[in-house]
Amino acid sequence: MLRTPRLLAVGAATSLALSLAACGGEDSAAPAEDPEEIVVSLVPSGDVDSITESAKGLESFLSDEIGIPVRAEVTESYASAIVALKSDQAQVAMLGPIGVVQAEDQAGAVPILQSVRYGSKTFHTQWFTNDPETYCADEVTVVEGLKYCNGTDAAKTGPIGEEAIAKVKPGTSIAFVDQGSAAGYYYPATQWGQVTGGDALVDLDAQFSGDHDAAVLAVARGDYPVGVSFDDAREEVAADEPKVASDVVVFAYSTEIPNDGIVVAGGLSKELRTKVTEAFTAMAKDPKGLKTLEAVYDIEGLTPVDTEALKKAKAVEENFGG
């Protein structure tokens, strides 16, 4: 029951190589700030080749809708995508919630749309372990071949299992995802601090796996006793690593996190910004376009940005030292 995107962070050794077609000259009828090509920054959480291939449909659909060429570029991280926006190397980015608020603050970007999955605009971090005797207060249950405890099998939203999170002692090695990931670092680290009164930056042995798949696999293989990811990243790797099903038990969820979103560079004209918004909206309503969005980021729909939810995400970032 995969509930969240394959978007939140990446550890792949992909180089950021963005180039932008020159803007029109001084006599051009187009506004100086509007480019002749739109670059869309994508941040994968696993197989770079897969998202690169899926993005071809994104380029084609958006190019036709907007009326100028659109090119997708895979970046190394949220930070790279934000730098691309800030330096005019990209005009659009599809980012996790922390990336969205950082793009607003650091690059002057404008959030335009938010993803919908399973009928929801939110998701949560899942905490998992290979040591259920320590972190499970009840019997482990199996649902569709995957293991849960502390009521996480039935819970549709978080938080839940915070008594178990309190058992994560200072010094524990944890397989986080990436320092820019909402579900893979910001929210669980903040939650641990709230539950225990500790400082996750100082007190925990944070190990960054690079992507959600890798965090799951690190715990499955016994490298670390505890890990975090989006819910339920285990489905992505269970077929390739049997220990994911046999040894990895989800024991807690974070509070709800706003889904990833789409931002546009603040320097774009209002007209072009509207065209981009309308193009993505049309894509989500078109059967072929929606298949492309599903292939890229498991997106089942797009909706206007929930500004209140993003304010909460910003508060998490600020409390975390963002």
pLDDT digits (tens, 9 = 90+) for 249-270: 999 999 999 999 999 999 999 9
Whole-angstrom Cα distance, residue 151 to residue 253?
10
Q: Please give the residue that has the higher pLDDT: either 52 or 126.
A: 126
Instruction: Dump pLDDT digits (tens) for 130-176.
Output: 999 999 999 999 999 999 999 999 999 999 999 999 999 999 999 99
Q: What is the pLDDT of residue 224?
A: 98
Please compute the mean of the pLDDT values over residues 55-73 and round it to a whole number.
Answer: 95
Please compute the mean of the pLDDT values over residues 213-236 and round it to a whole number.
Answer: 96
Instruction: For residue 223, give every residue at least 6 positions away whose Cβ sits within 8 Å of its Cβ, in sequence order, or none.
Output: 175, 207
Instruction: Dump pLDDT digits (tens) for 273-308.
Output: 999 999 999 999 999 999 999 988 889 999 999 989
Chain-centroid distance, C-alpha 116: 13
Backbone angles phi, psi at 146, to 5 degrees: -120, 150
Whole-angstrom Cα distance, residue 229 to residue 184?
5
Rg (CA), the chain: 20
Strand pairing category for 146-148 and 249-253? parallel
% the chain with pLDDT above 90: 73
Q: Are the C-beta atoms of residues 44 and 113 closer than 8 Å to each other?
A: no
pTM of the model: 0.78
CB-side exposure of 41: number of CA atoms within 13 Å? 39
